[in-house]
Amino acid sequence: MSNPSVPISFTSTKTQLGLTRSRGWIESLLLPNAERLAAVSFFACLPHPLLLPARQWLQGSGIGVAAQDVAAATDEVTGAVTASLLAEVGCSHVMVGHAERRGAFGETDQLVARKAAAASRAGLTAVVCVGETDTLPASDAAAVASVQARAVVAAVPPERPLLFLYEPGWAIGGTEAADPVHAGHVLHALRDVTAGHHARFVYGGAVAPGVYTRLRGEGDWDGVALGRAAQDPLLLAEVLDELTTPE
Ligand SMILES: O=C(CO)COP(=O)(O)O
């Protein structure tokens, strides 16, 4: 796992970029920033068919590739992508339980936990997405994230690394990240639930310059996950300044 004293960051392009645009984005934005991206152990979560070409485009850059989802099953299931295949094509991480998948496909906490366990068995680090869907008081949001996280820690051995992404559904694609005090409550609850596990914690949802610094004022966050900010040269540069400048 990455050095715990250095922030960590990653992005997911969801279904936003196809093959040609993904290559353009990697060559015009990621590679010119490779040194600073590598310094925060950056990886790009991509649709499955883009993993192999992206690995080649990113070769030698220090930037990793990761998947946005994985099958829970390890036996034969037509159309599924197993964790062992993701590991074989060079993924270091895989996202499980993104809010959009929990919403669109009805993914339950138990299914997400099985996916995290499958990832872990294959040597991947599961990026476990947790968070409330609609706006809630901080204590209720913390309770939702705790239930989601508890299912995963029950399924993954404590020595295996986990990366928790607190990403409230209401913040995704919005204009405002979670309030730092609110997020701090959730972080505190997640640290409690995962005590004894090898876990790190990042925030995602409308991350823009300044968000990481404000979050760190109210909680010991390990980093931030970028959505739109990773596809905007100015925003990416500013967020990287923040992440790579010692506090
Ligand atoms: O869902 C996200 C990344 O997976 C968040 O996206 P935004 O940062 O664009 O809100």
Number of other residues whose CB lies within 10 A of the CB of residue 91: 26
| CA atoms within 13 A of residue 122's CA, in its CB half-sphere | 28
Catalytic residue among 100, 132, 167, 242: 167
Question: Which atom of ligand 1 sits closest to the CA of residue 204?
Answer: 5
Q: Note whether ipTM > 0.90 here.
A: yes
Best CA proximity match to 41, nearest among 149, 111, 125: 125
Is 228's C-beta closer than 6 angstroms to any atom of ligand 1?
A: yes
Residues forming beta bridges with residue 96, ordered by sequence position? 128
Exposed/middle/buried for residue 209 (C-beta within 10 Å: 0-12, 13-18, 19+): middle
Structure tokens that stand for 136 in this block: 């809630």
Q: What is the pLDDT of residue 31?
A: 98
CB 1 within 8 A of CB 125: yes
The minimum-distance atom of ligand 1 relative to the CA of 208 is: 8
Residue 156 neighbours by CB under 8 Å, 6+ apart: 113, 116, 117, 120, 126, 162, 197
245 alpha carbon – ligand 1 mean position (Å)? 23
Cβ 157 vs Cβ 120: under 8 Å:
yes
Mutate to test the pocket of ligand 1, among 172, 235, 239 (most ligand atoms within 8 A of CB): 172
The pLDDT tens digits along the chain (247 residues) read 456 689 999 999 999 999 999 999 999 999 999 999 999 999 999 999 999 999 999 999 999 999 999 999 878 899 999 999 999 999 999 999 999 999 999 999 999 999 999 999 999 999 999 999 999 999 999 999 999 999 999 999 999 999 999 999 999 999 999 999 999 999 999 999 999 999 999 999 999 999 999 999 999 999 999 999 999 999 999 999 999 998 7
Distance 76 CA to ligand 1 centre (A): 32
Instruction: Tell which residue, 243, 151, 237, has the closest CA to residue 202.
Output: 243
Nearest atom in ligand 1 to 173's CA: 10
Say how many Å lie between the CA of residue 225 and the centre of ligand 1: 7
Q: Is the CB of 205 under 6 A from ligand 1?
A: yes
CATH number for region 8-244 = 3.20.20.70
Q: Is the CB of 145 under 6 A from ligand 1?
A: no
Query: Does the beta carbon of 103 lie inside 6 Å of ligand 1?
Result: no
Q: Is 76 a catalytic residue?
A: no
Q: How far apart are the first and last CA of the chain?
A: 22
Residue tagged 């409550």 (tokens) = 185
Among candidate residues 98, 182, 185, 197, the one labeled active-site is: 98
Spans of all domains in the chain: 8-244
**What confidence score (pLDDT) does residue 3 get?**
64
For residues 141 and 234, give the distance between their C-alpha atoms in angstroms, rounded to a whole number.
32
Q: Quote the DSSP letter at residue 209.
A: T
Taking each helix axis as running N to C, give the angle between helix 138-155 and helix 180-193, from 0 to 180 degrees, rounded to the nearest 10: 30
- Amino acid 43 reads F
Helices 138-155 & 109-121 angle (0-180, nearest 10): 40
Ligand 1 within 6 A of 97 CB?
Answer: no
Query: Is the distance from CB of 222 to CB of 243 less than 8 angstroms?
Result: no
Beta-carbon contacts of residue 140 (< 8 Å; ≥ 6 apart): 132
